[in-house]
Amino acid sequence: MFTSLETLAADDPAVLEGINDTISTPEQMLERLDETLELIAQANVVACGACAVDNYDISLIVPVYNEIESLPQVLRRIKEVMPVATEVLLVDDASDDGTTDWLRSLPPQDNVRVLYRRRNHGKGSAVRLAIRHSRGRVVAIQDADLEYDPANLLRVVWPVLEGRADAVYGSRYLSGENQDGHLHRIGNGVLTMISNRLTGLKLTDMETCHKAFRGDFLRSIPLKESRFGFEPEITAKIAARDAKVLEVPTRYEARGYDEGKKIGWRDAASALRCMWHYRKG
């Protein structure tokens, strides 16, 4: 079922922050309102079964590795909040905790595709595989755990849909509301600072999961990294193309390693290597 922006705003007013903060004149407000109503009308037509979805507005990539506990809830949330013209690309990266069997048991859905890997290659490799299969005007990324709520991805996607950005990062640190481990936050801050020095960007959270890109733009970028090096690699490569990059707030609830968190100090070292290797210029 399609969930309107008005309904989402009632549940979480911050969803519309990325829209409202750019409206400065009555003419812009009316133009933005017309665009919003057109998107809602199109989605409602599809939701009522009057026509099929031939062109997707959003390709939502969900890399999955051993997330049997959280994945069903994440997929329910995606269905609740994302527009109907969204295709969901799930990449099962050779899970061995029952996730693969659960995914194979799902009934077929026109807008959901599951890609299976025989061997575990890492998040970056899963994202690269899904990008090649994506068809949306916007390509966005959502983790399969419960650290990020898909509802907050809407404010990340919106500026790209409107043509105001080539890429949008959902920062965990812009609002000051998120609870994160002290050491983890320091580590992210250091990596983002180094990335900014090498790319010329002014990000507050380079490592965030919530990212959205103009589809054709992202599909034109050759990517190589297989693990969490994807984050610094894509950041460096969009900076090298002088892309227009925006940041908006996103919410984040950190989980511990005992709850399945997979990134570690080796990935931080790899991120530093990637930043230097892919640095601008």
So what's the pLDDT on residue 270? 85
Instruction: Please report the pLDDT score of residue 228 as a whole number.
Output: 86
Whole-number pLDDT of residue 281: 61
CATH number at residue 150: 3.90.550.10
> In the chain, which stretches have pLDDT less than 70?
1-54, 177-181, 255-265, 281
Residue 259's pLDDT is: 47
Question: What is the model's pLDDT at position 55?
Answer: 85
Query: What is the number of domains present in the chain?
Result: 1
What angle do helix axes 265-277 and 182-199 make, rounded to 10 degrees? Answer: 10
Question: Using one digit for the tens of pLDDT, what is the confidence trace for 151-185?
Answer: 999 999 999 999 999 999 999 999 776 666 677 78
In DSSP terms, 251 is beta-bridged to none
> Strand, coil or helix: what is 141?
strand
Residue 229: give the domain boundaries: 5-277
pLDDT, position 182: 72
SS3 sequence of the chain: CCCCHHHHHHHCHHHHHHHHCCCCCHHHHHHHHHHHHHHHHHHHHHHCCCCCCCCCCEEEEEEECCCCCCHHHHHHHHHHHCCCCEEEEEEECCCCCCHHHHHHCCCCECCEEEEECCCCCCHHHHHHHHHHHCCCCEEEECCCCCCCCHHHHHHHHHHHHCCCCCEEEEECCCCCCCECCHHHHHHHHHHHHHHHHHHCCCCCCCCCCCEEEEHHHHHCCCCCCCCCCHHHHHHHHHHHCCCCEEEEECCCECCCHHHCCCCCHHHHHHHHHHHHHCCCC
Q: Is the pTM of this model over 0.75?
A: yes
| pLDDT value at residue 266 | 75
User: Dihedrals φ, ψ of 30, to 5°?
Assistant: -65, -40
Please say whether the beta carbons of 201 and 239 come within 8 A.
yes
- C-alpha to C-alpha distance for 92 and 100, rounded to whole angstroms: 7
pLDDT one-digit tens code per residue, 189-232:
999 999 999 999 999 999 999 999 999 999 999 999 998 899 99
Amino acid letter, 157 = V
